[in-house]
Structure 1
Amino acid sequence: MTTATPQRLTLVGAGNMARGIATRALAGRHTVRILGRDTAKAEKLVADLAGTAPDADVRVGGEQDVAAADIVVLALPFEAAKAVAASHAAVLDGKTVVDITNPVDYAGWTGLTVPAGTSAAEEIAASAPGAHVVKAFNTTFAGTLAAGSLPDGVPLDLFLAGDDEEAKGQVARIGRDGGMHVIDAGPLARARELEGFQFLHMALQGSLGSNWMSGIKIVLP
């Protein structure tokens, strides 16, 4: 748990991934604002989070919380995240923006929807060129984030990719304070491999029978 000044996270989205990431952030005593298109859904998520952590600083947010945030997490599907990045490019200028997306072809599960030689993270960065985009949380499933570990109690690995070291450090702190093992995967271009790796992880869920509670883990000697 951190004793330093809490970071202010604004999560754009109120789905399962927003729940999981908010849970890790609140475990580290950080401040969370939930901004959702469906206000009732955002209010329900905030109530649930506050119920499990009564002293947590978590509230429904508004557009002003995007501007006030230290870190903005786009907890949305790829195309929606890209659209939000583009429409908020001015306010995101200079901010740390977390892309959690996996641009998967869900219709046929044939691969990723972005062209070879790029990634969802890089396309989002191009949509908000002044933002410091960090790829993170895309290799962790929502249920494991909410639980705080894999089913056997092994800490979750949080892979980061980004071109700005300070921005990566901010996101790394959220992970570490929330009990995760942080791995710096390198520049933002490494998001290509992280997205491809997670596509395989997702595609294997049926054969693994892990009910979306497995994780990608680097085991050190």
Structure 2
Amino acid sequence: MSGISIIGLGSMARALAERALAGGHEVEIIGRDRGKAEDLAAALGTGATAGTFGTVPVGDIVILAVSHAGAVPVVTRYGNALADKVIIDITNPVNPDATGLVTPDGTSAAQQIAEAAPAGAHVVKAFNTVFGHVLAPGRALDVLLAGDDARAKASVSAFVESLGLRPLDAGGLEMAHWLEGTGLLMISLARHGIGDFDFTLGVSRLG
């Protein structure tokens, strides 16, 4: 059992917390609104606690479950409190009508977060290609991830496996741009070719 800190109080934060608790982890829920963080922790039950926004998170892995617009400001606000942490960025930086990414060509939300993070912190892109409502405990899903630090990726991969999911390493953090594009593609598929969000994206080996 290990400690996982989740910054954010939305549906994805809750889904990841539920899956982490089912995987045997202790989960720290952190939000700007302490009361809402306490309410979510209480609703999650045994193993979940509420943390204080802006202080050093308990977990060695910190999941940044906030909007793209809020991600860099949150990391900047935390500053050295995130030193030596593994930061999982789950954001999808899509424009309001979900027809494109808002990040400039050649970069990604994850890379922007890495630039804002303190020395010793390592950013890994993960979970942005999994819709929150399909993360229900018991479902076997693929989680695509990318990052520059091998130890950080190994830590995230072990965490993903502990949730009963399969981690798939897509390469260095420069690949986060393409993972974020994949997130956009999934939203477009949900709105057009598939017609709903009740699906997942995975990899099947042939032969």
TM-score by length of 1: 0.87
Aligned to 1:170: 155
In 2, are the aligned partners of 1:148 and 1:156 still within 8 Å (CA)?
Answer: no
C-alpha distance after superposition, 1:53-72 (max 9, x if no partner): xxx41111114763432111
Structure 1 residues 116 and 148, CA gap change in structure 2 (3 angstroms): farther
Aligned to 1:209: 195
Q: Distance in 1 between matches of 2:12 and 2:122?
A: 21
RMSD, aligned α-carbons = 1.6
The structure 2 residue matched to 1:143, chosen from 112, 115, 133, is 133
Matches within 5 A, 1:7-26: 7-26=2-21
In 2, are the aligned partners of 1:137 and 1:158 still within 8 Å (CA)?
Answer: yes
Paired-residue identity, %: 43
Q: CA deviation at 1:89?
A: 2.2
- The count of residues paired between Structure 1 and Structure 2 equals 204
Q: CA deviation at 1:129?
A: 4.3
Matched, 1:75 2:65: yes
The structure 2 residue matched to 1:132, chosen from 122, 133, 140, is 122
Matches within 5 A, 1:52-67: 56-63=46-53, 66-67=56-57
Q: CA deviation at 1:201?
A: 0.4
Structure 1 residues 99 and 86, CA gap change in structure 2 (3 angstroms): same
In 2, are the aligned partners of 1:32 and 1:57 still within 8 Å (CA)?
Answer: yes
Runs of 4+ in structure 1 over 6 Å off: none
The structure 2 residue matched to 1:84, chosen from 65, 68, 74, is 74
TM-score by length of 2: 0.92
Q: Distance in 1 between matches of 2:98 and 2:126?
A: 22
Letter in 2 for 1:127: A
In 2, are the aligned partners of 1:161 and 1:190 still within 8 Å (CA)?
Answer: yes
**Runs of 5+ unmatched residues, structure 2:** none
Q: CA deviation at 1:15?
A: 0.7
Aligned to 1:36: 31
Aligned to 1:95: 85
Q: CA deviation at 1:109?
A: 2.3
In 1, are the aligned partners of 2:26 and 2:48 still within 8 Å (CA)?
Answer: yes
